[in-house]
Homo-oligomer: A and B are copies of this chain.
Amino acid sequence: MSGAPILVVGSVALDSVRTPFGETHEALGGSASYFSLSASHFAAVRLVAVVGEDFPLASRTLLESRGVDLSGLETAAGRTFRWRGEYAAELGHAHTLETQLNVFSAFHPRLDDVHRRTPYVFLANIDPDLQLEVLRQIERPTLSLSDTMNYWIARKPDRVLEVLREVDVALLNEEEARALAGETQLVRAADRLLDQGARAVIIKQGEHGALYQSREQRFITPAYPCESLTDPTGAGDSFAGGFLGWLARSGGHDGNALRQALACGATMASIAIEDFSPARLAETAPREITERLRTLHDMMHFDLVEPFGSDAAPLPRR
């Protein structure tokens, strides 16, 4: 089993986050950072993003320590993208206090030949116009996955849908799926997105798991029950890293591989949220990932029986 490489195009940021369990100041953040450190446990990752001249060497070293290829990490004149947010006790939704796009505002992904021919591609949450720019540059990949956010759905719904139609799998959270589909019920929202041209969608339900739906198949994974949730930032990107990471590593694309990939996604998300920044993702070991995957499997797997016998005869009435 060898991991085919993955290309990720997204943001690398400095995050300042406060949760009921503590806070962090200008720590490594951004969708591409979480994704890369998560996926790096499964496959080689090539990162395309932009940082400013103030991007800390320690963060660069952290990514490199996990073997992430930073040849596509551009350093532009100016300051690195910064995000400041906080979570209330329920930890469901981040409240953004400040966003400084800085060098990210002029970012246009530039792919070299190696990037262009990468078989697995993750278009992290960036402007859908940039996602389309990437799609136009790459050769047809084995599998492409996109993410987005409410901000773009509100401002550029047509472009978001255009991306959805281009990629193999589109990742959205519950709220985003409802907003984009105009449907409150999740399964119907997923159906509606397929009607609108998506090939497959994964609807992330945060602490409640995820739903994968294509025209032919529907899979679900519960979330891994987390004992020490500290900071939910990056959970979705870490999920994406485990999901695409497993597909790239295994080379599988059937239902079993997709269900395994969902479980790997849930596993990596559960690790990411146990600390601020992607620190836990960088330091986790294959043994821990394997153990969580096994625990997740064992918590939900049951032997299928015919509850009413193979003839499915009703119970005799009393």
A225 engages B260 (CB within 8 Å): no
CB under 8 Å from chain B, chain A span 281-313? 285-287, 289-290, 293-294, 297, 299-309, 312-313
B302 engages A256 (CB within 8 Å): yes
Report if A300-B259 is in contact (Cβ < 8 Å); known contacts: A42-B307, A317-B67.
yes
B306 engages A290 (CB within 8 Å): yes
Q: Is A187 an interface residue (CB 8 A)?
A: yes
CB under 8 Å from chain B, chain A span 179-236? 184-188, 191, 205, 207-209, 211, 218-222, 225-227, 229
Q: Is A122 an interface residue (CB 8 A)?
A: no
Closest chain B residue, CB of each to CB of A1:
B309
B300 engages A300 (CB within 8 Å): yes
A40 cross-chain contacts in B, Cβ below 8 A = 315
- Give A151 Cβ to nearest chain B Cβ, in Å: 22
Closest chain B residue, CB of each to CB of A209:
B222
A301 cross-chain contacts in B, Cβ below 8 A = 259, 301
Closest chain B residue, CB of each to CB of A306:
B290
Cα separation A205 to B209 with both chains bound (whole Å): 11
A303 engages B260 (CB within 8 Å): yes
Copies of this chain, whole number: 2
B307 engages A186 (CB within 8 Å): no
Closest chain B residue, CB of each to CB of A315:
B3
B225 engages A302 (CB within 8 Å): no
Q: Which of A3, A225, A229 is most buried by chain B, counting CB atoms within 10 A of its CB?
A: A225
B208 engages A302 (CB within 8 Å): no
Report if A225-B211 is in contact (Cβ < 8 Å); known contacts: A184-B90, A301-B301.
yes
Contact-size category for A: 35 or more
Q: Is A18 an interface residue (CB 8 A)?
A: no
A91 cross-chain contacts in B, Cβ below 8 A = 184-185
Report if A207-B186 is in contact (Cβ < 8 Å); known contacts: A290-B312, A301-B259, A308-B290.
yes
A120 cross-chain contacts in B, Cβ below 8 A = none
A290 cross-chain contacts in B, Cβ below 8 A = 306-308, 312
A220 touches which of B89, B225, B307, B312 (Cβ 8 Å)? B225
Closest 6 CB pairs of A and B: A208-B208, A259-B302, A286-B308, A67-B317, A286-B312, A260-B302
| 27 CB-based A-B contacts, threshold 8 Å | A40-B315, A41-B308, A41-B314, A43-B315, A44-B318, A69-B318, A185-B229, A186-B207, A186-B225, A187-B225, A191-B227, A208-B209, A218-B299, A219-B299, A220-B222, A220-B225, A250-B307, A256-B303, A286-B312, A286-B314, A289-B308, A290-B306, A290-B307, A290-B312, A293-B304, A293-B307, A294-B304
Measured CB to CB, the residues of A under 8 A from B are 1, 3, 40-44, 67, 69, 89-91, 184-188, 191, 205, 207-209, 211, 218-222, 225-227, 229, 246, 249-250, 256, 259-260, 262-264, 285-287, 289-290, 293-294, 297, 299-309, 312-315, 317-318
